[in-house]
């Protein structure tokens, strides 16, 4: 399990963050200069150069969102100009993309971050520009909400989820982080109109999706199946769309439906705490018809704590996880949880992108609980998050090679499909980066930098 360092402080990362942003700037410029956008969105690196993979278009927002975060952290106008111009030029198809569940990834990372900078005074106020960003976010949330599957609920109350690109039967744990698109659209005053002009409450859809994710994607040791452990997650939950009944857990990118794909776990770790932060900004009157603040927050907090606990318990001492906690060859590594993860081993790859995403969840949950008066639990999660970052922002995970286009090394995309680059002489993928891993490393770096400098708290809903 993670060996939590209780002595780490945000200010201890000052030199690391300075190096991080210097390297980050080099990588963004390198991609901008060398990557051929005619090939599609950059997804992951092969031999140090970003390449693409035609599956779904879910990573372009991370590319241009990274430039926006770089400007936020450093004030370099090159990155603002790049992020703003590329958002206008390239991101419109993502706003109306009816074929994916990833609207929070693409559009909150770009339009949302630009609107946030304007609200925070880091961009000059321009009413027409603000309206442009707001309209994109309103439509994005509504399009995402249209991917709706109704499921059976024994209590007779509404239930359902935003289905994945796999089809209406498929609930992905990833989508918990894309709920940001729905709640922003709602808070910007938008109403989704469906057939017959039926007005759909976007906040209700978001909360119902969060509940479905907490109920079906997260396990709590209650004996749902033989492998039910506190905080384990399933990448995909499969439903019978004819009667709305849950059928089974499944996985697309993990080893199986009965093991835990660690990036899916990390999406839940990050998504639940930040939605708790968002709910704190709403009036009780908005939540009362949807079950009430107490019930909703208790559900999300249980899921957040369970997933973060599982990560701490099932990750090696340095905070960097292997790609799946049930990967079939982990046993060949012996007591792998009792020593730092080894990205160069001969049997199973690590996934640094899960660490980048999960660390933010640990920090946000720790901060949330401390603010609620639970100082002991809050400190545990907070210090676990710092422990993860202490490893992530150092070699061999931080990419210091000026010719490598990636920022965070040893990320994994799709191990079952064999899509990841295996370097010569190795038996497993290693040494490569991903758009989501690099983006989320930048996001958590910005989060930590603002904390350490006593600047405004970084949250996606600061754009409101």
Residue 243 is assigned to a structural domain of this protein: yes
The arithmetic mean of pLDDT across residues 53-70, rounded, is 91
Inform me whether the pLDDT recorded for 47 exceeds 90. Answer: yes
Per-residue model confidence (pLDDT) at position 246: 96
Instruction: Provide the domain count of the chain.
Output: 1
Per-chain mean pLDDT for the chain: 97
Residue 67 is assigned to a structural domain of this protein: yes
Range(s) of the domain holding residue 235: 10-463
Per-residue model confidence (pLDDT) at position 199: 95
The arithmetic mean of pLDDT across residues 54-66, rounded, is 89
Residue 33 is assigned to a structural domain of this protein: yes
Inform me whether the pLDDT recorded for 54 exceeds 80. Answer: no
Residue 3 is assigned to a structural domain of this protein: no
CATH number at residue 276: 1.50.10.10
The arithmetic mean of pLDDT across residues 57-65, rounded, is 94
Q: Output the pTM of the full model.
A: 0.98
Q: Are 341 and 318 in contact (CB under 8 A)?
A: yes
Residue 1 is assigned to a structural domain of this protein: no
Inform me whether the pLDDT recorded for 236 exceeds 90. Answer: yes
Residue 429 is assigned to a structural domain of this protein: yes
Inform me whether the pLDDT recorded for 96 exceeds 90. Answer: yes
Confidence band for 157, pLDDT divided at 50, 70 and 90: confident
The arithmetic mean of pLDDT across residues 2-13, rounded, is 98
Q: Over pLDDT 90: what percentage of the chain?
A: 96
Confidence band for 186, pLDDT divided at 50, 70 and 90: very high
Question: In this predicted model, what pLDDT tens digit does every residue of 127-148 receive, in sequence order?
Answer: 999 999 999 999 999 999 999 9
Question: In this predicted model, what pLDDT tens digit does every residue of 213-228 receive, in sequence order?
Answer: 999 999 999 999 999 9
Residue 4 is assigned to a structural domain of this protein: no
Per-residue model confidence (pLDDT) at position 56: 76
Residue 2 is assigned to a structural domain of this protein: no
Residues 178 and 202: their CA atoms lie apart, in Å, by 13
The radius of gyration of the chain's CA atoms, rounded to the nearest angstrom, is: 21
């Amino acid at each position: 399990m993670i060996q939590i360092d209780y002595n780490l402080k945000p200010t201890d990362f000052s030199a690391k963050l300075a190096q991080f942003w210097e390297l980050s700037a080099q990588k963004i410029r390198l991609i901008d200069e060398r990557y051929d956008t005619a090939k599609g969105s950059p997804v992951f690196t092969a031999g140090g150069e970003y390449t693409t993979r035609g599956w779904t278009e879910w990573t372009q927002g991370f590319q241009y969102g990274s430039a926006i975060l770089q400007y936020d952290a450093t004030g370099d106008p090159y990155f603002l100009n790049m992020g703003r111009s590329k958002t206008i030029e390239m991101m419109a198809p993502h706003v109306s993309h009816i074929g994916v569940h990833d609207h929070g990834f693409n559009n909150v990372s770009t339009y949302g971050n630009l609107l946030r900078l304007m609200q925070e005074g880091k961009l000059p106020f321009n009413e027409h520009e603000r309206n442009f960003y707001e309209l994109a976010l309103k439509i994005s949330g509504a399009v995402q909400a249209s991917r709706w599957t109704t499921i059976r609920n024994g209590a007779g109350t509404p239930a359902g989820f935003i289905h994945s690109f796999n089809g209406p039967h498929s609930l992905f744990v990833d989508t918990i982080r894309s709920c940001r698109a729905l709640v922003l659209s709602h808070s910007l005053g938008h109403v989704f109109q469906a057939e017959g002009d039926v007005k759909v409450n976007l906040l209700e859809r978001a909360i119902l999706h969060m509940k479905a994710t907490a109920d079906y994607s997260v396990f709590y040791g209650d004996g749902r199946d033989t492998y039910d452990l506190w905080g384990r997650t399933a990448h995909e939950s499969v439903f019978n769309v004819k009667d709305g009944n849950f059928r089974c857990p499944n996985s697309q990118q993990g080893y199986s439906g009965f093991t835990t794909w660690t990036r899916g776990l990390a999406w839940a770790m990050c998504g639940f705490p930040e939605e708790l932060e968002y709910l704190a900004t709403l009036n009780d009157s908005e939540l009362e018809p949807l079950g009430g603040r107490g019930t909703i927050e208790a559900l999300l907090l249980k899921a957040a704590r369970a997933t973060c606990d599982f990560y701490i318990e099932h990750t090696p001492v340095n905070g960097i996880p292997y790609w799946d906690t049930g990967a079939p060859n982990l046993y060949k590594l012996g007591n792998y949880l009792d020593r730092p993860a080894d990205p160069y081993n001969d049997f199973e790859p690590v996934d640094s992108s899960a660490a980048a995403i999960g660390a933010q969840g640990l920090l946000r949950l720790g901060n949330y609980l401390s603010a609620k008066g639970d100082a002991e639990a809050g400190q545990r999660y907070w210090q676990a998050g710092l422990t993860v970052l202490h490893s992530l922002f150092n070699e061999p995970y931080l990419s210091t090679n000026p010719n490598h286009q990636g920022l965070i090394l040893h990320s994994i995309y799709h191990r079952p499909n064999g899509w990841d680059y295996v370097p010569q002489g190795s038996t497993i993928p290693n040494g490569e980066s991903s758009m989501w891993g690099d983006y989320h490393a930048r996001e958590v770096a910005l989060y930590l930098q603002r904390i350490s400098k006593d600047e405004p708290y970084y949250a996606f809903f600061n754009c409101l």
